[in-house]
Amino acid sequence: MLNGKSAVITGSTSGIGLGIARALAGQGANIMLNGFGEAGAIEALRASLAAEFGVEVAYNGADLSQPDGGGALVRDARERFGAVDILVNNAGIQHVAPVEDFPPDRWDAVIAINLSAVFHAIRAALPGMKEKGWGRIVNVASVHGLVASANKAAYIAAKHGVVGLTKVVALETAEIDVTCNAICPGWVLTPLVQAQIDARAEREGIPVAQAGRDLLSEKQPSKQFTTPEQLGALAVFLCSPAAANLTGASLPVDGGWTSQ
């Protein structure tokens, strides 16, 4: 379905971004990977995706905490592939602390990577999409773009911002075949969440498996983690002709979390 299209997925060396990259590659899209990690492991990942799916896969390690990170990433993908048809803004970090103890440098980093980088990348990618008359922007927000939890001030402010930005971009592109939507996952078992489970296990003196079950029970009624594969399938749907008139939406994939 996406043969000949090119996709940039930020933060795709791990977790949800990698799941989305695999799903888009599976539909024939060329892929620009981004994110941190050990150089040898990233090259092995790049080569294995290219071999498995028979598409071009490139890597650009732009640091999205920097204002020009997203722009540089999009420009590089356009030079290599000729276009950026699909932009998935997925990179994100977390910091957990009460507001009064929240370190200002962590606030700045979370806002820069989880929110400002989304703006910078969209700003760089949109002119090319408008010129071609086709584009898909998928922002990986979170249930925390829709509801709040304690101790995550910067993350929740950033993700609510992403949901708002998604709506603005959808309105500005409403009359052309460019859509902009947000995916709002509940708990997904990735390194980002594993760190929170490990911290909980240590804090409460309980086994890690128990901490994982407690984490789910607290918020996610299905008591199942959403998987990167499920989110990849949703991203593919958002890039399909069936979703051409689906824009500005924030789609929870949260086992009922936000229905409570």
DSSP 3: T
Instruction: Determine, following the binding rule CB under 6 A, whether residue 15 of this chain makes contact with ligand NAD.
Output: yes
Name which of 82 and 256 has its Cβ closer to ligand NAD: 256
Task: Report how far Cα 228 is from the mean position of its chain's Cα atoms.
Answer: 10
Query: Per-residue string for binding with ligand NAD, 41-80, x by CB under 6 A?
Result: ----------------------xxx---------------
Which tokens go with 201?
Answer: 């296990």
Query: What count of Cα atoms within 13 Å lies in the side-chain half-sphere of residue 36?
Result: 9
Among 34, 60, 166, 173, binds ligand NAD (CB under 6 A): 34
Instruction: Determine, following the binding rule CB under 6 A, whether residue 140 of this chain makes contact with ligand NAD.
Output: yes
> In a 10 Å sphere around its CB, with 0-12 CB exposed, 13-18 middle and 19+ buried, how is residue 204 labelled?
exposed
59 tagged catalytic: no
Instruction: Determine, following the binding rule CB under 6 A, whether residue 16 of this chain makes contact with ligand NAD.
Output: yes
Q: Which of residues 181-200 bind ligand NAD (CB under 6 A)?
A: 185, 187-188, 190-193
List strands edge to edge, sheet with 30-33.
57-59, 30-33, 6-9, 86-89, 134-140, 177-185, 250-253
> In a 10 Å sphere around its CB, with 0-12 CB exposed, 13-18 middle and 19+ buried, how is residue 104 labelled?
exposed
Q: Which of 53, 107, 155, 187 is catalytic?
A: 155
Instruction: Determine, following the binding rule CB under 6 A, whether residue 212 of this chain makes contact with ligand NAD.
Output: no
Which tokens go with 177?
Answer: 């075949």
Name which of 2 and 140 has its Cβ closer to ligand NAD: 140
Kindly report the CA angle at 204 between 203 and 209, in degrees rounded to 5?
105
Instruction: Determine, following the binding rule CB under 6 A, whether residue 230 of this chain makes contact with ligand NAD.
Output: no
Closest separation between CB of residue 202 and ligand NAD, Å?
Answer: 19
Site for ligand NAD, rule CB under 6 A: 11-17, 34-36, 63-65, 90-93, 113-114, 140, 142, 185, 187-188, 190-193
Residues acting as catalytic residues: 155
